[in-house]
Structure 1
Amino acid sequence: MCGRMAITLPHAAMAQVFDAVASNDLPDVPNYNVCPTVQVHTVTSDDGLRRLRPMRWGFIPHWYDSPTDGPLLINARSETIATKPAFRQAARTRRCLIVASGFYEWKRIAGEKPLPWYITRADAAPMAFAGIWQDWDRDGSAMATCAIVTCAANAAMEPIHHRLPVILSPGDWGKWLGEQGHGAATLMTQVADDALHFTRVGTAVNSNRASGPDLIVPIDPDAHDQ
């Protein structure tokens, strides 16, 4: 799964990388501790025009009467996305890219604090997670919401966690966004083991209130009490 991430790229740079027009209400950057239910940076495409726009991280199905009417849906499993009632229409027609500099995952060892790792692309390029989105509206309270598509972990990720976000390469962005016809389902696969870089970071990020660049500072991978 993916339950926390960081985004450090300036808005103008994000718009350039994704060849998108930036909205004027994007979340502030940098943010080293992006948590579920906050606004995240997404890219959508409408008739070939890409927009860099904010969405709530936490997909809200149209039948929810409130954002808390059911489970918090921050991830969508690639194996079942096409059949789950909450996700299947979005998987066909409302796909997006969710932008991050990296994400956090925790290795859990019985009797010890969860040990956080910060994961980035090995080439240090921005990450583009496969995402789906949904407009939700009740009594005039409207918002765009999204979830990250996940797949089984690759061999590099498996020692830390059994799930992994679907991370799209630049050549696949257009297909996922529907700009190149059909075939998006074939993209919901693991990245290569050598495509990711893993950094052990301190346990300060275990708190969703933590902030600042110190959260991604490397520490000794064998340290358990930082």
Structure 2
Amino acid sequence: MANTLPHDAVAKLFDAVPANALPQLPDYNICPTQDVAVVTQEEGRRYRPMRWGFVPVWYKKLNDGPLLINARSETVAEKPAFRKAVRERRCLVPVSGFYEWYREGDEKLPHYFHRADGEPLVMAGIWQEWGEDGLPTLAVLTTEANALMAPIHNRIPVVIERDDWGKWLGEEGHGAATLMQAPGEDVLTYHRVDKAVNSNRASGPALIEPLAA
């Protein structure tokens, strides 16, 4: 993921109370196990950091099993790790964009996806607290790729539109399941970026710039 959205502006956009400590921005290379700022509904909207990588309650250690950065929307309500969270703890993940990779032989070619209209990209997430200290952890929901994404990858994040933010957060009764679908073909756009982003140590705005011909 990449995020250049100012925290104060995002908290105002969602009418959410910001946490005292939030991830440092801008960050052009947010990797799994790092913190991402998300919007939750906890007797009012909160804007708070969470570890990207959902940890099931039965894990004794953070690395007791697979790193669950994503959850498949088609099966999320059935999987023991996720089924309670998708009913009770849904969140919104506002970012500038995200990376997806196309495999060409042994190479992983990165592409940067963002909203075509320039607005914040808000992905669907689920969360839960883990361990004695209540570490908040997050997974992003994905679904089958639309025609835009299909040439690059077979999955795409579930994108929540502004009018549906409240429904996804559970503020408007039932119906969140109907939102777990691919975004419309004109919602996102993308371009190739440099393979520098393949390293979790890479940083800087050049990571999201179109790859020079």
* TM-score category (smaller protein): over 0.9
Distance 1:72 1:83 in 2: 18
Question: In the alignment, which residue of structure 1 is the partner of 2:75?
Answer: 80
The 5 A counterparts of 1:190-209 are 190-209=182-201
Q: Does 1:91 align with 2:83?
A: no
Give unpaired runs (5+ residues) of structure 2: none
Give 3-state SS (helix, strand or coil) of 2:104's partner: coil
Question: In the alignment, which residue of structure 1 is the partner of 2:146?
Answer: 154
RMSD: 1.0
Alignment length, in residue pairs?
Answer: 213
Q: CA deviation at 1:107?
A: 1.1
Q: Which aligned runs of 4 or more in structure 1 are off by greater than 2 angstroms?
A: none
Distance 1:191 1:135 in 2: 29
Question: In the alignment, which residue of structure 2 is the partner of 1:70?
Answer: 65
Identity rate, percent: 60
Q: CA deviation at 1:75?
A: 0.2
Distance 1:193 1:35 in 2: 26
CA displacement 1:88-117 (0-9 Å, x = unmatched):
000100100112110000111124x21111
- Give the alignment partner of residue 108 of structure 1, picking from 87, 90, 103: 103
Q: CA deviation at 1:197?
A: 1.1
- Give the alignment partner of residue 41 of structure 2, picking from 25, 31, 45: 45
TM-score after normalising by structure 2: 0.97
- Give the alignment partner of residue 134 of structure 1, picking from 124, 128, 136: 128
Give 3-state SS (helix, strand or coil) of 2:164's partner: helix
Q: CA deviation at 1:17?
A: 1.6
Q: CA deviation at 1:46?
A: 2.2
Q: Does 1:175 align with 2:180?
A: no
TM-score after normalising by structure 1: 0.92
Give unpaired runs (5+ residues) of structure 1: none
Give 3-state SS (helix, strand or coil) of 1:151's partner: strand
Give 3-state SS (helix, strand or coil) of 1:182's partner: coil
Distance 1:14 1:208 in 2: 25
